[in-house]
Amino acid sequence: MGTQLGMPAVRPSPSTPEISPPEAAAPGSGSTAAVSALPSPASALALSPADGLLDRHGRRATDMRLSLTDKCNLRCTYCMPAEGLNWLARDKVLARDEIVRLVRLGVDRLGVRELRLTGGEPLVRADLVDIVAGIRANHPELPISLTTNGLGLDKKAQALKDAGLTRINVSLDSLHPDTFAQLTRRPFLDRVLRGVEEAARVGLGLVKINAVLMRGINDAEAPDLLEWAVSRGFELRFIEQMPLDADHGWTRDGMITAAEMRSLLERDFVLTPDSRERNGAPAQRWEVRRHADPATVVGTVGIIASVTEPFCAECVRTRITAEGKVRSCLFSHDETDLLALLRSGVDDDAVVRRWQEAMWGKPKAHGMGHTGLGDSDYVQPERTMSAIGG
């Protein structure tokens, strides 16, 4: 990875003697010692503009994940309650121009190098194409990707491509209509498949497919999903279920682990580690070969093992919710309101400063001082995945 804005490579912390050196957990290392004392406000004040979105553990966020809405037209069991949530009023959600400004500050002032638009379901926003076009006008080279459930994508894919969207990830947990409906509580499999095909046709590729594997529901389908994806040139990623559901139904023993995923896939395929740099990405990639033809790589599969093989030590993400709040970690319990600041009429410097301070306080891992989703001291955030922005 190169650097931007003349920033130095990641260094431990701003030069404040009271700050301890970086101590992020090694990936897959399980629990680690608790974080030492939180920095005083004076420590965060030592940040300079060139520090970008540096945190007190020595990581610098360059990957901005922006939620466009909390609304969704599916009700995936691992994400939303059946009855939906109390949707935010329109004036509580970032408007197009506010989004464009935040991205501009992230990219031009804070070293953001890639942008993901997510939700809720971003395609339910009527001004989505206009948002993408507004961002693209300021940043001709920025990779802009979208994570979506694919509903309505068949009608919007071309316009999104024309507006400057780079790539798309579509969530699809099953190719069986009944299983799809059981997981999403909606009978819309055909519509999602139409969306995926259209995204590929218009060139919103490499299309990636996200599948959360749920025990006894779609886990046995894993090899068939992979066969479907590789035969179409899509990159499938299997995701470990995380404790972010509204129903608090997650259990450590109930989830399908990355190790189980690999052994499920070995029924039909040989997996070997992909040698490409991971660069802080959640997915660990594997090359895929069929048993029948072990000499030929037919595609790549990703495994996103947030629970059993966490990657927090390499985390490069900063999140903004649909209400314009910074969440330094997916599992944070703190949020920093940038929208109120934007609407109070402050200048760019003040917004940049607040964003930096929010990221400086990023927890070490999983919203706390060590990795361990589901550990006795893990506290599930109040927001569900859809309301955070997955």
Ligand X SMILES: Nc1nc2c(ncn2[C@@H]2O[C@H](COP(=O)(O)OP(=O)(O)OP(=O)(O)O)[C@@H](O)[C@H]2O)c(=O)[nH]1
Scan residues 290-349 and list those touching ligand SF4 (CB under 6 A): 311-312, 315, 317, 329-331
Inter-residue long-range contacts of 158-165, CB under 8 Å, 24+ positions, other chains counted: 158/198, 158/202, 159/129, 160/128, 160/129, 160/132, 160/204, 161/202, 161/203, 161/204, 163/129, 163/130, 163/132, 163/133, 163/136, 164/132, 164/133, 164/135, 164/136, 165/132, 165/204
- Among residues 59, 60, 116, 285, which is the contact residue for ligand X, using CB under 6 A? 116
Instruction: Locate 290 and state its tokens.
Output: 């069929």
Piece in contact with ligand X (CB under 6 A), picked from 10-18, 23-31, 258-266, 275-283: 275-283
80 contact choice in ligand SAM, ligand SF4, ligand X, none (CB below 5 to 8 Å, kind-dependent): ligand SF4
Q: Residue 148: enclosing H or E segment and its boundaries?
A: strand 144-148
CB-based contact 338:374 (threshold 8 Å): no
* Site for ligand X contains 145 (CB under 6 A): yes
The smaller minimum CB distance to ligand X, of residues 283 and 301, is found at 283
- What span, in angstroms and rounded, lies between the C-alpha atoms of 287 and 285? 7
* Site for ligand SF4 contains 359 (CB under 6 A): no
Instruction: Locate 167 and state its tokens.
Output: 């790539």
- Among residues 113, 125, 136, 208, which is the contact residue for ligand X, using CB under 6 A? 208
> Where does this chain bind ligand SAM (CB under 6 A)?
72, 78-79, 118-119, 121, 147-149, 171, 210, 212, 239, 241-242, 244-245, 385-386, 390
**Which backbone phi and psi does 39 adopt, to 5 degrees?**
-70, 150
106 contact choice in ligand SF4, ligand X, ligand SAM, none (CB below 5 to 8 Å, kind-dependent): none
Give the residue numbers of the binding site for S-adenosyl-L-methionine: 78, 120, 171, 242
* Site for ligand X contains 390 (CB under 6 A): yes
DSSP state string for 54-109: E-TTS-EE-EEEEE--S--S---TTTS-TT---PPPGGGSPPHHHHHHHHHHHHHH
- What span, in angstroms and rounded, lies between the C-alpha atoms of 176 and 221? 9
208 contact choice in ligand SAM, ligand SF4, ligand X, none (CB below 5 to 8 Å, kind-dependent): ligand X
**How far apart are CB 167 and ligand X at their closest, in Å?**
6
Give the residue numbers of the binding site for [4Fe-4S] cluster: 72, 76, 79, 312, 315, 329
* Site for ligand X contains 14 (CB under 6 A): no
* Site for ligand X contains 151 (CB under 6 A): no
**How far apart are CB 288 and ligand SF4 at their closest, in Å?**
25
245 contact choice in ligand SF4, ligand X, ligand SAM, none (CB below 5 to 8 Å, kind-dependent): ligand SAM
**Which backbone phi and psi does 358 adopt, to 5 degrees?**
-60, -45
Give the residue numbers of the binding site for GTP: 65, 116, 147, 208, 317-319
- What span, in angstroms and rounded, lies between the C-alpha atoms of 180 and 323? 30
**How far apart are CB 116 and ligand X at their closest, in Å?**
6
Chain centroid to CA 59: 17
The smaller minimum CB distance to ligand X, of residues 47 and 244, is found at 244
Angle separating helix axes 96-110 and 348-360, nearest 10 degrees: 70
Residue type at 213 in one-letter notation: L
- What span, in angstroms and rounded, lies between the C-alpha atoms of 159 and 146? 13
**How far apart are CB 206 and ligand X at their closest, in Å?**
8
Residues 6+ apart with CB under 8 A from 316: 59, 60, 61, 62, 63, 279, 280
- Among residues 67, 77, 147, 332, which is the contact residue for ligand X, using CB under 6 A? 147
Residues 6+ apart with CB under 8 A from 17: none
Scan residues 322-351 and list those touching ligand X (CB under 6 A): 330
Instruction: Locate 212 and state its tokens.
Output: 């959360």
**How far apart are CB 91 and ligand SAM at their closest, in Å?**
22
The smaller minimum CB distance to ligand SF4, of residues 29 and 350, is found at 29
CB-based contact 381:331 (threshold 8 Å): yes
Binding site for ligand SF4 (CB under 6 A): 72, 74-76, 79-80, 119-121, 149, 171, 311-312, 315, 317, 329-331, 365-366, 385-386
Binding site for ligand X (CB under 6 A): 116, 118, 145, 147, 169, 208, 210, 239, 281-283, 304, 306, 317, 330, 390
